[in-house]
Amino acid sequence: MTPRAITTIGFDADDTLWQNEQFFRFTETQFGEMLADYAEAEHISKHLLEVEKRNLGQYGFGIKGFTLSMIETAIEITEGKVPAATIEKILSVGREMLSHPVETLPHVQDTLEALASDYRLVLITKGDLFDQERKLAQSGLGDFFAQVEIVSDKSATTYRRIFHHATGGPERAVMVGNSLKSDIVPAIAAGSWGVYVPHPLTWAYEQVEPPREAPRFREIPDLSHLIPLIETFD
C-alpha cells in the first residue's frame, strides 16, 4: 500500500474553528466610546494597537492582555486622568469577553469529523491557557484532536517541534488557519503545507502578504474545500 502523503493536520482555533476577532472589534468600539471625550475613535484604536504590540512580550496574546492594554491606553490617552469608573467599565467588558459563548464557524464540525478517522489532528493555538481551554471545551470539538498545543507564539521552530511527532515529520503535515503571519508562513518555513482560510476580520498585527510563490501554499474560501484539497497533496 502506498503511504499516505499527509499524516497530520494542524488547525488554528480563533477565527478558523470559531469566531474570535469580532468580539475584540466590538469591545474596541465600546472602548472608543468610553474615551470619546479625550480623543477620536481612530486615534484611540491606533494607540491601542501600538500598546498591544509593545505588551505582547509581557502579556502574550489573548483577552487578558487586551484588557490590560486597554487600561494602559486609557491612562495614556487621558494623561493619567481616566476616571476609576472607566477602568471598572474596561474590566467589565474584558470579563464579558471571557464568558462569551463559543460560536463555531461553518463546516467545522463536518470537516473535523470526516478527517479524524484518517489523519492525526492537532489543535495549535495562541492565547491565554484558561480561555482557550474554555473555548475548546464549549465548542464540543475536543474529541477530534489527538493533541492540543496552546503556545505563546507560532514560529517555524514551533511547527517543527509539534510536527516532529507526525509520521514522516513536518513534510507530511498541513497547517490550516486564517492568519498568514502565524499559521501559514512559519508552517511553510518548517517544511509543511500551509492552507490559508481567510476570515473577514483579521487583527492588523496578523496581516502579511500571502506567500503565493511558495510551492506548499494553498488558499481555500472555507473549510468545506479542505478535504478534496488535501487529497491532491503528494
Query: Which residue bears the cell 493555538?
Result: 125
DSSP state of 24: H
Render pLDDT for 67-106 as a digit per residue (tens, 0 to 9): 999 999 999 999 999 999 999 999 999 999 999 999 999 9
Residues 9 and 120 sit within 8 Å (Cβ to Cβ): yes
pLDDT at 3: 57
> Nearest 5°: phi and psi at 200?
-60, -20
Render pLDDT for 3-20 as a digit per residue (tens, 0 to 9): 568 999 999 999 999 999
Burial-class residue 215 by CB neighbours within 10 Å (0-12, 13-18, 19+).
exposed
Three-class SS state of 8:
strand
Q: How far is CA 13 from CA 69, 83, 139, 148, 176, in A?
A: 23, 36, 10, 10, 9
Listing DSSP states for 36-50 in one string gives TTTS-HHHHHHHHHH
What is the spatial distance between Cα 181 and Cα 234, in angstroms, rounded to a whole number? 25
End-to-end CA distance of the chain, in Å?
15
Ordered strands of the 120-126 beta sheet: 147-151, 120-126, 8-11, 173-177, 193-196, 217-219
In order along its 234 residues, the chain shows pLDDT tens digits of 345 689 999 999 999 999 999 999 999 999 999 999 999 999 999 999 999 999 998 998 899 999 999 999 999 999 999 999 999 999 999 999 999 999 999 999 999 999 999 999 999 999 899 999 999 999 999 999 999 999 999 999 999 999 998 888 999 999 999 999 999 999 999 999 999 999 999 888 888 999 999 999 999 999 999 999 999 997
CA 35 to mean position of chain CA atoms: 28
Residue 8: beta bridge partners? Answer: 120, 173
What's the whole-model pTM score?
Answer: 0.92
